[in-house]
Structure 1
Amino acid sequence: MVVGDASLDIDTLVIGAGPGGYVAAIRAAQLGQSVLVVDKEYVGGVCLNVGCIPSKALISAAHQYETVKHASSIGIDAGEVKVDFGKVQAFKESVVKKLTGGVSSLLKANKVQFFQGEVMFINENEARVFNEQEAPRYKFKNCIIATGSRPIELKAFPFGGRILSSTGALALQEVPKSLVVIGGGYIGIELGQMFSKFGTQVTVIEGTNSILPGFDTDMSSLVAKKLKAQGVNVVTGAQAKSAEQTDKDVTVTYTVGDKEEKVTADYLLVTVGRRPNTDGELGLDLINIKMTDRGLIEIDDQCRTSVPHIYAIGDIVPGPALAHKASYEGKVAAEAIAGLPSKIDYKVIPLVCFSDPECASVGYTESEAKEKGYNVKVGKFPFSANGRALSLQSTDGFVKIVSDADTGLVLGAQVAGAEASNLIAELGLAIEMGATVEDIALTIHAHPTLGEITMEAAEVALGHPIHTFVK
């Protein structure tokens, strides 16, 4: 159907169907709004299609491969273990297909209209959505912009051929023999370590003095130690300068101090951050939305932009570019449109890196709490003293609880080790509820579980641990 100048009416227009947009659309529909969600590519956005979900599927496969390879250490002889990477990729795609199909069903069940195409604002109350077949015009009462982000492309390392973005790396149909990664943040470490487990010789080039900037130094040091043990060459304090590629390989030139170095590999993966999708033909300039000099949209505590009935969420607003942050903001925006008093509060948004070992952090780190003026008391307990961790052969790691020594309130926590991504949820809830370390210590945790490490760390903070001693 082609609609000319006649406008169709909608309560809420959602631009982007990623983890922020589709969640916002569903919540808005639940609150009685007629909703249209538009995405130029696919339901689920980057996260479900070429980001969080496919990367974790490949990381899980790599972990299982490594586990089977070393099963002889616990008396299980699996024989020669081989990787059929084509089947690994098929497994990844099956996971993606199931989840994106599920989201499509949820949108349909909540009577949310979906349009695959692009959006261009006409004015503050109207927009044209279009693809090659049709271009209807919609008049909306409210709008939620959730257009996400894309990998930053460096001029010296343009994507194409053997220079890959994270999207390209996830689509490789064979395990490369060698790989150079520019950027030692969570994306570079996750993907670099994943390929390393499959047998790739990996070199990571990081500009700062340590990998995983933004994470507690105890955590990044632990991951760096594991990478070294796995044969990954991590070069910190290095600046990548140029790349020359052939049809067979790519050579990267970088400097460390005054010394120039070169490394050649099958592929180069560039992971130096993401850029908000606020440029292009969306037409934000036509509606005078205030933005930062980094291209991020300014919002208030209800995700409202400078145009009162237009909201923005996810990677295009200030804060960490995290799928769960986008989903959280999507619900807040939809509820604000409905007149509810919902507001954003980022105090307990967890940061997670699916490295080996996993790293997760919520609330303040020890140094951040001290900078805020708290009298800090830390409780830290190692995985190596936990029975379940020993039985899993996953003894690298710790749980660290940061608390206020005067009140016992939990201010933050860091978990490094197996299942850190799951263990962090309890500690986030503790901060959200205003719990103390005593509350955690008094909570009976099942034995033998990794969750006990959290209880033990709380007891360390209180000064009376059972399974370790306080120096």
Structure 2
Amino acid sequence: MNTTNYDIVVIGSGPGGYVSAIRSAQLGYKVALVEKYDTLGGTCTNVGCVPAKALLDSSEHYHKADAQFKAHGIKLSAMELDFNQFIHRKNEVVKQNALGLVYLMKKNKIDVHYGLGSFIDATHLKVSSDKEEQVLTSKYFVIATGSKPSSLPGIIIDKKRIISSTESLSLPSQPASMVIIGGGVIGVELASVYARIGTKVTILEYADSLIPSMDRDLGKALQKSLTGLSIDIHLSSKVQTAVNTGEAAVVGYLDKDGKQQELVADYCLVAVGRRAYTDGLNLQAARVEAEKNGKIKVNNTLQTTTPNIYAIGDVISGPMLAHKAEEEGTLVAEVIHGLKPHMNYNLIPGVVYTWPEVAGVGATEEELKAKGIVYRVGKFPYMASARARASMDTEGFVKVLVAEAYNEVLGVHVIGPRAADVIGQAVVGMAHETTADEMAHLSYAHPTYSEALKDAFLMASGKGAINI
């Protein structure tokens, strides 16, 4: 069995893992990256963020062609969807991103080992594949093994009719109908993909709002938008069973009134969240402790209970977001190097890539009320935006929450065109403790979607909106 020595070994090649490996190499360390599967990139690149966004964009083009092109003076006849090409384009996007990661590993002189990583002790990791077994020794390890889809008690994801988000990205043909269990980020995004191309979609959500972790106004507005796509949405619904009958999936649930209901569809997509994935790591051998929920226990520098081993991303507490994992990957590399990096978890934006997009950063209005914090609200609708009217994207609004004391920006919440990009300006402002008045008096290009931010800040500062 071969043995190779390294300074830092990163286990998992998702966004957190590959960023941590690259930053470590940039700081001069001899680095290895261990990946269980035969492609780099983890969930995000292969069966998560990237392929989902590819399908979201394709389905949005199809929807706009069907619903809006006539208003633009563009006439189409006999429009149809080539579902095989729809999936093929997504596959090509994934392939190019994965190849880009291979290039980055070579450029930064990072050794890549494919196989299942399993700790022998705190300084030795066995990597097993179909071809060979080898042992990597290292001064430091970074666990970045990500997460896997969760299910509900009694519901088995058979990957045939009862599927997870992974299978939903590569169906063999367009389904006529789909029931989605879960109205969180994954559920509403995939509901958008399939509803836009003509699949009959029903969402069953246990909470009384879609995207329940975000500001409640965003969930209400998104529900209205998705209903406009003919998606049936059932809130306060408790799913009890999901059965593969061979030709269909049958889902049983209690509705908001406690009455037993049943739905039949081609597929049942289980989108109720994700769980930390540490299977096969043999954490006990390295004396790395986990929390009751399966996530790895870390301190404020992301060090585990074994000092030379760190953990980042979905395997530790906090939002399961690729960009959160990336920042943690950089932080760990710099901590090992003796630097003093800092992360403000309050300033990690959350994004939903429906159309209109949804994004938020900082406190929600519900959180401020619960804490008894006195605040003002500034809210500006995209219906009043010249840029939004020009693109026929007038759904949504920008909502800013500002403290009465010192005009501090406490939270920014956006549902509308390019919300995922607009939120970045709010993050910068909050990171530098820019007041609402200062944000309102910056120069915003006209006409742009981000001007809605300016007007929301003006309104929160007691002034009226000035842009259209």
What is the TM-score when the length of structure 1 is the normalising length?
Answer: 0.96
Map Cα deviations across residues 361-401 of structure 1 (whole Å, 9 max, x no partner): 00112232344453312211110000000011111111111
Secondary structure of the structure 2 residue equivalent to 1:86? helix
Map Cα deviations across residues 233-286 of structure 1 (whole Å, 9 max, x no partner): 1111111111232332111111123311111111110011101012x3211011
TM-fit CA distance, 1:173: 2.8
Letter in 2 for 1:36: A
> Which is worse superposed, 123-132 or 45-54?
123-132
Mapped partners of 1:371, 1:213: distance in 2:
16
User: Structure 2: where are the runs of 5+ without partners?
Assistant: none
TM-fit CA distance, 1:18: 0.3
Indicate the residue corresponding to 1:238 in structure 2: 237
TM-fit CA distance, 1:467: 3.6
Letter in 1 for 2:263: V
Mapped partners of 1:123, 1:130: distance in 2:
16
Letter in 2 for 1:141: K
Matched, 1:66 2:63: yes
Note if contact 1:394-1:418 (Cα within 8 Å) is conserved in structure 2: yes
Q: How many residues align?
A: 464
Indicate the residue corresponding to 2:210 in structure 1: 211
Matched, 1:54 2:51: yes
Map Cα deviations across residues 56-90 of structure 1 (whole Å, 9 max, x no partner): 10011110101111211232212232100111111
Map Cα deviations across residues 181-219 of structure 1 (whole Å, 9 max, x no partner): 111111011101210001000111111111111111111
Indicate the residue corresponding to 1:82 in structure 2: 80
Secondary structure of the structure 2 residue equivalent to 1:269? strand
Mapped partners of 2:342, 2:466: distance in 1:
42
Letter in 2 for 1:414: H
Map residues 180-199 of structure 1 onto 2, 5 A cutoff.
180-199=179-198
Note if contact 1:180-1:268 (Cα within 8 Å) is conserved in structure 2: yes
Mapped partners of 1:446, 1:208: distance in 2:
39
Note if contact 1:228-1:234 (Cα within 8 Å) is conserved in structure 2: yes
Note if contact 2:124-2:138 (Cα within 8 Å) is conserved in structure 1: yes
Mapped partners of 1:299, 1:178: distance in 2:
43
Secondary structure of the structure 2 residue equivalent to 1:211? coil
Letter in 2 for 1:265: A
Indicate the residue corresponding to 1:272 in structure 2: 272
Letter in 1 for 2:337: A
Letter in 2 for 1:89: I
Map residues 6-21 of structure 1 onto 2, 5 A cutoff.
7-21=3-17
Percentage of matched positions with identical amino acids: 37
Indicate the residue corresponding to 2:258 in structure 1: 258
Secondary structure of the structure 2 residue equivalent to 1:20? helix
Note if contact 1:360-1:420 (Cα within 8 Å) is conserved in structure 2: yes
> Which is worse superposed, 135-144 or 323-332?
135-144
Map Cα deviations across residues 430-453 of structure 1 (whole Å, 9 max, x no partner): 110110111111111111111111
Secondary structure of the structure 2 residue equivalent to 1:114? strand
Mapped partners of 1:140, 1:13: distance in 2:
6
Note if contact 1:385-1:467 (Cα within 8 Å) is conserved in structure 2: no
Matched, 1:34 2:33: no
Mapped partners of 1:212, 1:114: distance in 2:
37
Note if contact 1:26-1:107 (Cα within 8 Å) is conserved in structure 2: yes
Indicate the residue corresponding to 1:282 in structure 2: 281
Indicate the residue corresponding to 1:320 in structure 2: 319
Secondary structure of the structure 1 residue equivalent to 2:173? coil
Mapped partners of 2:431, 2:271: distance in 1:
32
Letter in 2 for 1:270: V
Indicate the residue corresponding to 2:396 in structure 1: 397
Map residues 328-367 of structure 1 onto 2, 5 A cutoff.
328-367=327-366
Note if contact 2:162-2:243 (Cα within 8 Å) is conserved in structure 1: no
Mapped partners of 1:375, 1:468: distance in 2:
28
Letter in 2 for 1:264: V
> Which is worse superposed, 168-177 or 49-58?
168-177
Note if contact 1:303-1:344 (Cα within 8 Å) is conserved in structure 2: no
TM-fit CA distance, 1:155: 4.5
Secondary structure of the structure 1 residue equivalent to 2:133? coil
Mapped partners of 1:352, 1:400: distance in 2:
15
Mapped partners of 1:392, 1:216: distance in 2:
26
User: Structure 1: where are the runs of 5+ without partners?
Assistant: none
TM-fit CA distance, 1:468: 8.1
Is the alpha carbon distance of 1:131 and 1:219 closer, same or farther for their aligned partners in structure 2, counting shifts above 3 Å? same
Mapped partners of 1:318, 1:418: distance in 2:
31
Query: Which of residues 20, 24, 30 in structure 1 aligns to 2:20?
Result: 24
Secondary structure of the structure 2 residue equivalent to 1:136? strand
Mapped partners of 1:366, 1:213: distance in 2:
13
TM-fit CA distance, 1:134: 1.7
Map Cα deviations across residues 396-431 of structure 1 (whole Å, 9 max, x no partner): 111111112221121210001110111000001111
Map Cα deviations across residues 142-182 of structure 1 (whole Å, 9 max, x no partner): 00000000001335321222111000000113211000011
> Which is worse superposed, 351-360 or 422-431?
351-360
Note if contact 1:301-1:343 (Cα within 8 Å) is conserved in structure 2: no
Map residues 113-132 of structure 1 onto 2, 5 A cutoff.
113-132=111-130
Note if contact 2:283-2:289 (Cα within 8 Å) is conserved in structure 1: no
Is the alpha carbon distance of 1:405 and 1:66 closer, same or farther for their aligned partners in structure 2, counting shifts above 3 Å? same
Mapped partners of 1:118, 1:258: distance in 2:
45
Mapped partners of 2:371, 2:221: distance in 1:
26
Secondary structure of the structure 1 residue equivalent to 2:15? coil
> Which is worse superposed, 338-347 or 428-437?
338-347
Letter in 2 for 1:55: A
